Structure 1
């Protein structure tokens, strides 16, 4: 059994990493903080030119037709650079919803618009108290009493909610559902909302993996440059242990996130278990990385001038997005204990009949 990504998947992720390394800089992120929307149309167009918007869109709608397995690397890379744009909400979560809806004029046109970079989509879900990027969305998918509605921006109003991360633009939404906005009944919407929760939580977990690596890299670089008593502080055993603990936690979380991607892509019956495990593992790794990176930097880590704050604040913000730790622990417990799931080493390689 092959547990590694193939050459094409690695090459796609490598291409995106080189692109983001040039375009998604900390300097740009700081510039966007000062703009009214916090978003960049130029950057969104560049995402589309790189094919990022079309990853999950079926080929029949001008997309690439790839799965969550490819997103495992792409979302991790996006997290590493702390991209502020709603890339994953639109091209992974919203596209997943659209793929689950029957073909129709507006649905097919929206898929093509997403692939071309002509549309941002905001997605609401009961697990999230606020909706992100409603202010720049061309379309909003909203849940109401279990139903799924398609809401246009001019049919709703929103109130901004402050986030610990200046790049996160969160809103309280005010809108009125009616028959013209309903695109799925409660029965039809239930599997779509369940799948969007899993895709959203997986997307956050993958980004947290990337942020863990970025914060670790920042801490390692600082520990090599900062000197005390004539020696780099990274040469002291206490700091080595801090950074080694992060690296170990990261390596344990990585395959868990990749397993969740595979479970979503293949609609595994235990998908919710794997996704919640991934969110928990990635959140724990990222939060540990943030704490230890701050300890390595000392008082300097609290200053506005250091880029470390960009990545730490994103970790804090994403930790509660698409379900907090309590929520995902409860999902794991329900699956393992309540449903008496077949688990353990003897079950690992069982094939489903």
Structure 2
């Protein structure tokens, strides 16, 4: 039995990564923080054209007929670039519900990111067409991830399986964010000198980065397992460890950078603040611990 991603899966991830490297640069992120939508002009159309939003749909519905195992690598890559688009909400959560890869879906329990530019919005109250929704804006630590309280003529929807897919997707994004923050920090500590030597040569700095890498390497297998099983408890484990990896890495990265790491002039804050936002989205730590604890009790009874 093969416990590894196929060459085709890795090639799709790399092609998607190439697209984001070209069209979702830190400069593009900064522009998204300041523009009217919080999104990158033209990027969503390219993502849809690549087929990412329809990966989980059958070919008869205009999709690619693939699985969450195929999609999870792309969602991790989207985290590495702090992609300011509702890709998890659409590709993992909404497209299988709507059976239409062309629709842009926004989703959240109470506050919904990018609800102002979505075709369809899902909340804990149900589904509403974007054109029929009434939106109240709320502040967000990530200025590209615009938050809205949504009201409107909701209709009921069974979102149980879709929620699990969304949790796995955001866990993958947290892993991608952690990986990117480690990359930025390693580059910085090689360059920054103190006492005549790169600070990356100091043992205390090495320990910070080793701990960050360790949490990421523990999180990834849980995310990939959850993508295979789509089990609610496995998804919660993945989200817990993905959040831990991203938050641990954010703290380590900020410590290694010093005060410059928190400034808006430096790129680190773009990824750090996204990780903070995602850690409180789609179930916080308490919520997912409860799911894992419940599954553990049932398994031992």
TM-score (norm 1): 0.82
**98, 103, 120: which one aligns with 2:104:** 120
2-structure distance, mates of 1:314, 1:286: 9
2-structure distance, mates of 1:165, 1:256: 26
1-structure distance, mates of 2:81, 2:123: 29
Asked if the contact 2:29–2:40 (Cα under 8 Å) also holds between the matched residues in 1, the reply is no
Q: Deviations over 1:263-317 (max 9, x none)?
A: 12xxxxxx11100000001111111000000000011112111000000000000
* Residue 174 (structure 1) aligns with: 151
Task: Provide the aligned C-alpha RMSD in A.
Answer: 1.5
2-structure distance, mates of 1:300, 1:123: 34
* Residue 49 (structure 2) aligns with: 49
Q: Deviations over 1:315-342 (max 9, x none)?
A: 00000110000000000001102x1359
Show the 5 A alignment for 1:145-224: 148-149=126-127, 151-177=128-154, 182=155, 184=156, 189=157, 192-224=158-190
* SS of match in other structure, 1:36: coil
Q: Deviations over 1:111-169 (max 9, x none)?
A: 1xx2xx4x311234xxx22122110012223543xxx44x2233221100111111111
* Residue 340 (structure 1) aligns with: 299
* SS of match in other structure, 1:291: helix
* Residue 24 (structure 2) aligns with: 24
Q: Deviations over 1:177-211 (max 9, x none)?
A: 4xxxx3x5xxxx4xx32112211111110000000
Quick check: which has more Rg, 1 or 2?
1
1-structure distance, mates of 2:262, 2:195: 23
2-structure distance, mates of 1:289, 1:142: 30
1-structure distance, mates of 2:122, 2:138: 19
Q: Which stretches of structure 1, 4 residues or more, deviate above 6 A after TM superposition? A: none
Asked if the contact 2:112–2:123 (Cα under 8 Å) also holds between the matched residues in 1, the reply is no
* Residue 240 (structure 2) aligns with: 280
Gaps spanning 5+ residues in structure 2: where? none
* SS of match in other structure, 1:340: helix
TM-score (norm 2): 0.95
Gaps spanning 5+ residues in structure 1: where? 100-110, 265-270, 343-353
* Residue 122 (structure 2) aligns with: 141
* SS of match in other structure, 2:135: strand
**229, 235, 259: which one aligns with 2:201:** 235
- TM-superposed deviation, 1:41: 4.2
1-structure distance, mates of 2:228, 2:138: 34
* Residue 278 (structure 2) aligns with: 318
Say how many residue pairs are matched: 301
